[in-house]
Amino acid sequence: MTDRIVSWHCNPSVPRFTPPPGAVDAHCHVFGPMAQFPFSPKAKYLPEDAGPNMLFALRDRLGFSRNVIVQASCHGTDNAATLNAIAKSNGRARGVAVVDPAISDAELEKLHEGGIRGVRFNFLKRLVDNAPKDKFLEVAHRIQPFGWHVVVYFEAAILEEMRPFLNAIPTLIVIDHMGRPDVSQGPDGADMRAFRSLLDSREDIWTKVTCPDRLDPHGPPWDDFACAVAPLVADYQDRVLWGTDWPHPNMEKATPDDGALVDIIPRIAPTADLQRKLLIDNPMRLYWPEETKSSS
């Protein structure tokens, strides 16, 4: 592995859009710090440290209240860095783990106590060496008693071949970054139509309307993303999540300005009602359900 990379903006702007109080950044990661939490020997990229203090400073700068920290592939199946960040958050972060399918029930229990509420299955060949569907399904069954959900990351090209696997998952499913559609095809393009058909196949498939920087080939201000994604948010408003994706793994050649990313929110969720669902109600139901039960 060569030099460590910096994939985030070093001086992000303060957004013009003010998130509603209690807003959740429901997709972000931490890297290290490496001296305490070494990266996996199988990591496909080696980043500089982007630890909890940096994440919480960004949360405050952007006007968010909470984070959902998704275990990044560079940390493999050792969730210590993610758990460390959650522990340092004063209850303002929860997480999604990546686990070795051989994990014991006692270890799953420990992850739950540490604030983990889901497991991630990653199918991107550039990020992981293998993605054993049969083992993942076993894990999906074993997490059911904890009330966790499954987060799946795949690309649009394999959506159809993913269907039987997704159908067999017994828990709620969240699809990362909408399964990476080509947003330049527009809201009615082939990729968006296929993705909508997947959402229509099960009411408990949710998605993250994230990563304009990864998905919009024309770059900021990400007009193609806004145009393709706004109708999706309106039509599936009770099952969409939003996140920064900070520290933007592998985006070192085009690090997005996090303030500008936040400013896309009112373009994809134009009303206060949609913004509250996207940024508060939906993520709270998944990650802090105990705080929402009394009011529902």
Ligand X SMILES: O=C(O)c1cc(C(=O)O)oc(=O)c1
Question: Residue 62 corresponds to which tokens in the numbers above?
Answer: 């952007």
Rounded least distance, CB 177 to ligand X, Å: 7
Tokens found for residue 236:
């599936």
Of 72-80, 131-139, 225-233, 252-260, the window that binds ligand X (rule: CB under 6 A) is: 72-80
Q: How far is the C-alpha of 153 from the C-alpha of 127, rounded, in Å? A: 10
Q: Which of 67, 73, 82, 282 binds ligand X (CB under 6 A)?
A: 73
- In the chain, the DSSP E strands lie at 24-28, 66-70, 93-97, 116-122, 149-153, 173-175, 205-208, 240-241
Report the residue from 26, 55, 68, 72 that binds ligand X according to the rule CB under 6 A: 72
Residue among 124, 150, 137 at smallest CA distance from 202: 150
**Identity of the residue, 117 or 214, whose beta carbon is nearer to ligand X in the bound complex:** 214
| Binds ligand X by CB under 6 A, chosen from 127, 151, 156, 262 | 127
Q: Say which DSSP state 26 is in.
A: E
**Which residue number, 154 or 274, has a Cβ lying nearer to ligand X?**
154
Among 171, 250, 255, 292, binds ligand X (CB under 6 A): 250
Q: Give the active site residue among 245, 258, 263, 281.
A: 245
Q: Is 273 one of the annotated active-site residues of the chain?
A: no
CB of 245 to ligand X, least distance (A): 6
CB atoms within 10 A of CB 190: 12
Of all residues in the shown chain, the one whose CB is closest to ligand X is: 73
* Helix (H) or strand (E) segment spanning residue 212: helix 212-215
Q: Which one among 176, 213, 216, 224 touches ligand X, defined by CB under 6 A?
A: 176
Please say whether the dihedral angle defined by the alpha carbons of residues 201, 283, 230 and 272, taken in this order, is positive or negative.
Answer: positive
Phi, psi of 262 (to 5 degrees): -65, -35
Q: Which of 12, 249, 256, 266 binds ligand X (CB under 6 A)?
A: 249
Q: Does 207 bind ligand X (CB under 6 A)?
A: no
Q: Name the residues annotated as catalytic.
A: 245
By the criterion CB under 6 A, which residues form the site for ligand X? 72-74, 127, 176, 214, 245, 249-250
